[in-house]
Amino acid sequence: MQTDIWIAIVVAALGTFAMRALPLMWTQRHFNKHKANNTEAQLPTWIGVLGPLMIAAMLGVSLIPKETSMAGWLATVAGTLLTVLIWRKTRTLGLPVLAGVLAFGGVYALLA
């Protein structure tokens, strides 16, 4: 692989980690400061808003196939439907995402 691709992968990984780790670290520090002062800490409003906004942004990007061919669209629809169906049954995050990714890959591999 070319060096440019590896740099892009590392930057994306660090950015993804930072989006998750920085709010967590800030919240832990915020709660620890209130615990030391024997006061009750409230979760800031921006944290409750930021999480769903990031998930919605990733969802919007992931629902548009990389290749706008029939195989790409059908694989996206199959993966999305299976993800939603399993999520409605289990109300968890891991299994629906795994099933959706496998459905997407399977349909795309069969049709492409």
pTM of the model: 0.54
Mean pLDDT of 31-46: 80
pLDDT, tens only, 65-101: 877 899 999 999 999 999 999 999 998 888 988 999 8
Task: Please check whether residues 12 and 44 belong to one and the same domain.
Answer: yes
Residue 57 lies in a domain: no
Is residue 41 very low, low, confident or very high in pLDDT (cuts 50, 70, 90)?
Answer: confident
pLDDT score for 84? 92
User: How many separate domains does the chain show?
Assistant: 2
Q: Say if residue 6 is in the same domain as residue 31.
A: yes
Rounded to an integer, what is the distance from CA 81 to the centroid of its chain? 17
In whole numbers, what is the pLDDT of the chain averaged over residues? 86
Say whether both 47 and 75 belong to one domain.
Answer: no
Q: What CA–CA distance (Å, rounded) separates 28 from 24?
A: 6
Whether 99 contacts 82, CB under 8 Å: yes
Whether residue 91 sits in one domain with residue 47: no
